[in-house]
Structure 1
Amino acid sequence: MIKQGMRTALMALALAGGMMASAPAHAEGTLTVSSPQDPGSWDPVDTFLVNWASVATNIYDGLTYRGPDTKLVPGLATSWEVLDDGLRIRFALREGVTFHNGEPFNADAVKFTFDRLMGEEGKKGPQRSNYAAIDHVEVIDDYTVDMHLTQPDPVLLTKLAGYGAMIVPPKYIAENGEDYFNAHPVGTGPFKFVSYEPKVGIKLEAYDGFWGDQAKISNLEYRFISEPSTAVAELQAGRVDLVIPPTIPIGMIPTIEEDPNIQVVTTASPTVYALRFNTANGITKDERVRKAMIYGVDRKAIIDAVLGGQASEIVSFQGELSFGYDPSLEPLPYDPNKAKELLAEAGVAPGANVQINIRGNDSTFNEVAQAVASYLQIIGLNATIKPYETNVLLNDIIPQGKTGEMFQQSWGGWTLDFDNTAYFMYHTGEKWNPYDSDPKMDELLESQRAITDQVKREEILREIANYAADRALEMPLYNLNAIFGLSNRVKNFIPVPDSRLRLNEVSVD
């Protein structure tokens, strides 16, 4: 909840130093990171991808910052004050900050960033609706801005710490154009852009003018390695120092643990996995069929057999870290007889075909999907698995409504608030909801966004979770730990739950 009482603590933190710079240290060495996906654009308004954030958190800053401990602290804003019953937030901005191109950071840059996000450029990407409460930003002076809202947004301060809210340089974009900016990012973060080769990798170097703690490494390089076995082999060979989620298959953890030069580091994560249903076409248009498929799959057995203790069962599309999680919500039990009854009631003939679309490079989920298909075979459904290259599945197949009856959806839930998941998954017209339109669901989703009373808001979020489960909009599967592969030459690495890694504190031997 956004509270007036928050101000004092935040301002005290800012005055005490917050994230202010320590004395610059000499940066040396190169850290090489394996990332499973090239986001295709480095513009904050163009993306939703965790693999974008794992890189871009080192290039950009937001007005706020949330680190590995999940606590919100000052970023490019040193303090903020919530005014007018939550309809206006005044930010005091950090002075003396420059973008990587030498352009000064100031109130004009903040206004430009949000005008752009809420304008035509932002409209082209997936981030705009996440910041829909923002009406406009008003410049008060060079280092003070007022953010005017159409309604209170209790999660906005967290949203300002990532993705579409990252502050961008107005003059640089005006001079070079949007397409150039997509491939040549400039921010105020601890590392600056050097080069980018699509599908291959991106190279960064320490930015000596960074306002915070100077990087302890001179170069930060990301290689896009989609094949998990290749990423692990490169880690073993010493050509990669860090492999980030969701690359490492559960089955390869023992291989890493047996190597004395590398290790597995895990932490609790908000990332959840489900098989979502096509509710508009085919046999899964019928709610009875969707519930039959859930009854027909022993999800706990799959978790125990495939995931080796690195995941927990979920009932709704969120884990325990999520605000809105309902511990009293019970899953549909494994009951193949009940599944067969519902299929017969819905008039589904034995041997009916269903297609499951998955990410081709996710070997762990491929095993999960194979197990799901086997269970569906038992209740009389002929399930086939169709893998896609990740970017094709996420940018074409799902948003365009071209999936089969079921499709893989994983979601980071990086705000640790169910709104950030549920609104994108269930609201009419959203990119990740190509099939369903439910006025009751839309009303619930919209109503909780305007409520600052967190008790009331939590009640509505739990109602949303229960309603989605009652309609069987997806087959909830599991909440997976964040699993990192790490070379022993890397020092001071702290795993983060949401993969938004800021690596200026890391050093290498």
Structure 2
Amino acid sequence: MLRKTSPRAALIAATLLASVAMPAVADEASGTLNVAFTKELENIDSYFNSSREGVVMQRAVWDGLIYRNPETNEYVGNLATSWEWIDDTTLEFKLREGVTFHNGEPFNADDVVFTVNFVAKEENGVKTQRNVNWMESAEKVDDYTVRIKLKKKFPAAIEFLSGPVSMYPNEYYAEVGASGMGLKPVGTGPYRVTEVVPGQHFKLEANSAYHDSPKGQPEIANIDIRTIPDVNTQMAELFSGSLDLIWQVPADQAAKLGQMGQFTVANESTMRVGYLQMDSAGRSGDNPFTNKLVRQAVNHAINRQELVDALLQGSSKVVYTPCFPSQFGCVQDVTEYEFNPEKAKELLAEAGYPDGFETAFYAYRDRQYAEAISSYLNNVGIKTDFKMLQYSALRELNMDGKVPLSFQTWGSYSINDASAMVSQFFKHGSLDSTRDDEVRDWLDVADSSTNPDERIEYYSKALEKITDEAFWAPMFTYNTNYVFTDQVAYTPTPDEVLRFVDMTWN
């Protein structure tokens, strides 16, 4: 059985809490909020990273044409003031006038046309193609009117335009490219970037000329973000006063901090799903996961509820679908696999592995979760060679088809549509380890139909086959623990976006 707190984690946390003095007052006097990221951000250019930290920075530094209110889910104009469908594959936008980029470059239709035409071309290398490959091109009508052409019908277009599709300055980006944007980012957002030490340190300052955006105006003058991979080090710095806010804190440690009465601990659900991806297509070579019985055995080997109860806690839930339940089209009437290790062993024997087998097993985050999953697999005879990598390294291995088994997560860029997850991984893209033509064809219909009932029908077909064939082992939804000093006021939203513009000093 899993324990809610490992002895090592409990000892470290208890030592920290017992030995460190009262925390210093947050750095309100200087107007600087000190924040920690756990994972390294490979590139601050939001089109060339796919990490959650990148999403956080994207929403702070850049704007999209549309904004979705995270509380009401209402779509309102941001860099656009209005929009309308000209036909089934053409959107026309009226743009906000008087907006300037952080470098003084005025925002207009040329920036939209440049951004869309650049990111829509696969050869330009946007990391998450699913976010942009539904767009064909953009054309200028006048300085403040632009039309975006879609490759085909795509009813989720407004949702994507309210999330990961940011507008970049055409003149600056043409000059510096992705590498330059990664080192000296320029957007129109509520915060401008003043310093970048790649992967380690980022400094932001409030954009005093920020336009009348539905995001609101920034109230904290400066944000100082450091990459600190070890959560215990983050906790120690929180106590010493050199950090004001940490997030993605494990449940047991967040609970201990909450008991101290010196910090605010907020738990909020997220759209992130944890899952095991298996190479059923054999991209990594001849491997046991090409056998359906083996994949079913893996699904039966995992005690999902115990993982949720013992490790994730909070608002996390068990899932059997490869998407987040609130996403449009993420039907829940699918094949479910109960925890049954004996059944798993029987299936392995039937598949020709009565003594089990060995496999490489990769993960990039939540070592404790990955190690617990590894122990479940080992218990039924699947002996894992566990490899913990940086996210970017694992993603590249996945894209090259070299990963037989991995524990991964996906937050869908907080897009509330099943296409942002199911279609990302099951439509023969570089991260698709399944390569099932029938599933791809069903998803093509679901992604492009303008009839909601038809969309649900075809997402249902795809999800039923994905789960029946046990292509993945979806396990649980995530929640996030935010811990900050009492000098900071912040209410997290359920989309897992850390919004600096919503933070204030008490």
Q: TM-score over 0.5 for the alignment?
A: yes
Structure-2 residue corresponding to 1:257: 258
Name the SS of the counterpart of 2:137 in structure 1: strand
**CA offsets 1:2-46 (integer angstroms, 9 cap, x no match):** xxxxxxxxxxxxxxxxxxxxxxxxx97111221122322222321
Equivalences for residues 118-129 of structure 1 within 5 A: 118-119=120-121, 123-129=124-130
**Aligned match for 1:337, one of 325, 339, 342:** 342
Q: Does 1:478 align with 2:479?
A: no
**CA offsets 1:279-300 (integer angstroms, 9 cap, x no match):** 2131112111110121122222
Cα distance change of structure 1 residues 103 and 399 upon mapping to structure 2, 3 Å threshold = same
Aligned partners of 1:502, 1:372: CA distance in 2, in Å?
A: 32
Preserved contact between residue 130 and residue 420 of structure 2 (Cα < 8 Å): no
Preserved contact between residue 291 and residue 339 of structure 1 (Cα < 8 Å): yes
Aligned partners of 2:202, 2:314: CA distance in 1, in Å?
A: 34
Shift of 1:323: 1.5
The residue type equivalent to 1:50 in the other structure is: R
**Aligned match for 1:502, one of 493, 499, 503:** 499
Identity of aligned residues (%): 29
Cα distance change of structure 1 residues 232 and 423 upon mapping to structure 2, 3 Å threshold = same
Q: List gaps (5 residues or longer) in structure 1.
A: 1-26
Shift of 1:330: 4.3
Cα distance change of structure 1 residues 374 and 149 upon mapping to structure 2, 3 Å threshold = closer
Shift of 1:60: 0.3
Equivalences for residues 376-391 of structure 1 within 5 A: 376-391=377-392
Aligned partners of 2:390, 2:43: CA distance in 1, in Å?
A: 17
Aligned partners of 1:215, 1:372: CA distance in 2, in Å?
A: 42
Structure-2 residue corresponding to 1:3: none
Normalising by structure 1, what TM-score? 0.88
Aligned partners of 1:232, 1:488: CA distance in 2, in Å?
A: 15
Name the SS of the counterpart of 2:218 in structure 1: coil
Shift of 1:177: 4.1
The residue type equivalent to 1:131 in the other structure is: V
Number of residue pairs the alignment of both structures matches: 470
Preserved contact between residue 424 and residue 431 of structure 1 (Cα < 8 Å): no
Aligned partners of 2:502, 2:445: CA distance in 1, in Å?
A: 41
Structure-2 residue corresponding to 1:235: 238
Aligned partners of 1:58, 1:100: CA distance in 2, in Å?
A: 12
Aligned partners of 1:28, 1:74: CA distance in 2, in Å?
A: 33
Preserved contact between residue 81 and residue 94 of structure 2 (Cα < 8 Å): yes
**CA offsets 1:318-356 (integer angstroms, 9 cap, x no match):** 232221222332411122232222111111141421332
The residue type equivalent to 2:486 in the other structure is: N
Runs of 4+ more than 6 Å apart: none
Q: More displaced, 348-357 or 282-291? A: 348-357
Shift of 1:235: 2.2
Equivalences for residues 184-203 of structure 1 within 5 A: 184-203=184-203
Aligned partners of 1:482, 1:466: CA distance in 2, in Å?
A: 29
Shift of 1:120: 6.1
Cα distance change of structure 1 residues 261 and 68 upon mapping to structure 2, 3 Å threshold = farther
The residue type equivalent to 1:95 in the other structure is: E
The residue type equivalent to 1:303 in the other structure is: V
Aligned partners of 1:38, 1:334: CA distance in 2, in Å?
A: 35
Aligned partners of 1:174, 1:382: CA distance in 2, in Å?
A: 50
Preserved contact between residue 117 and residue 136 of structure 2 (Cα < 8 Å): no
Structure-2 residue corresponding to 1:73: 76
Preserved contact between residue 38 and residue 227 of structure 2 (Cα < 8 Å): yes
Cα distance change of structure 1 residues 376 and 127 upon mapping to structure 2, 3 Å threshold = closer
Preserved contact between residue 278 and residue 472 of structure 2 (Cα < 8 Å): yes
Preserved contact between residue 59 and residue 192 of structure 1 (Cα < 8 Å): yes
Structure-1 residue corresponding to 2:397: 397
Equivalences for residues 60-459 of structure 1 within 5 A: 60-69=62-71, 70-84=73-87, 86-119=88-121, 123-163=124-164, 165-212=165-212, 213-244=216-247, 247-279=248-280, 280=282, 281-359=286-364, 362=365, 365-394=366-395, 396-403=396-403, 405-413=404-412, 414-428=414-428, 430-433=429-432, 435-459=433-457
Q: List gaps (5 residues or longer) in structure 2.
A: 1-28
Shift of 1:375: 2.6
